[in-house]
Amino acid sequence: EVQLLESGGGLVQPGGSLRLSCAASGFTFSSYVMTWVRQAPGMGLEWVSGISGSDHNTYYSDSVKGRFTISRDNSKNTVYLEMNSLRVEDTAIYYCANEVRLDHWGQGTLVTVSS
Amino acid sequence: DIQMTQSPSSLSASVGDRVTITCRASQGINSFLAWFQQKPGKAPKSLIYEASNLQSGVPSKFSGSGSGTHFTLTISSLQPEDFATYYCQQYNFYPLTFGGGTKVEIK
């Protein structure tokens, strides 16, 4: 059974930093693209970032490019999202999902950016 | 970026109704289109990938069709557990993009 478990969310002031983690199990992690998607309160889904399985190519939405960094550790079956220079508008539930077609999702972790 | 336009944004339907949701892409995306169901307070759940392929464990009352720029999700006979918000998503090009969602409510 595929499982994705996010952690690392919390309350942070504008301009601050957080690192999210997503621990994966139940599939061959290194073979899969991993994706971060977020959902602001009461809003729709927004793709944030993705990373390929073996060559670690990375992709970012314009809204986070230059502030967020995605990475992965295939030995730990974990993908990370380093978030810097956080803004109020980054407040959202952050989900990780596998592949670009997002077959499986974690339960999400809440990031709140507020002073 | 590819814009995904879903319609309607909301609908009211009765148990047993047949419901169809439409998703249009601003340019051709072949069949690289997925559909998701999201219930309040829960993570989205994948229903369909590659426009018409049912994910494992998803009941056959859900079906998808289309290619290019025009896609549909149909629920053949709406049940109480199907009242939720539905999203389409294209994965032919980065940035991946979602439709705005369709909220299916009880009439």
pLDDT digit string (tens) for A59-92? Answer: 999 999 999 999 999 999 999 999 999 999 999 9
**How many Cβ pairs within 8 Å bridge chains A and B?**
53
pLDDT of residue A54: 80
A47 vs B100: CB contact, 8 Å cut-off?
A: no
pLDDT of residue A55: 80
Q: Find the residue in B nearest to A36 (Cα).
A: B96
Using an 8 Å CB-CB cutoff, list chain B residues near A50: 94, 96
Tokens 């590659």 sit at which residue? B50
Total residue count of chain B as it appears in this document: 107
Helix (H, G, I), strand (E, B) or coil at A96: strand
The residues, any chain, with a CB within 8 Å of residue A9's CB and separated by 6 or more, are: A18, A20, A94, A109, A110, A111, A112
- Average pLDDT over chain B, rounded to an integer: 97
Q: Find the residue in B nearest to A49 (Cα).
A: B95
Percent of chain A with pLDDT over 70: 100
Q: Is the model's pLDDT at B29 over the cut of 90?
A: yes
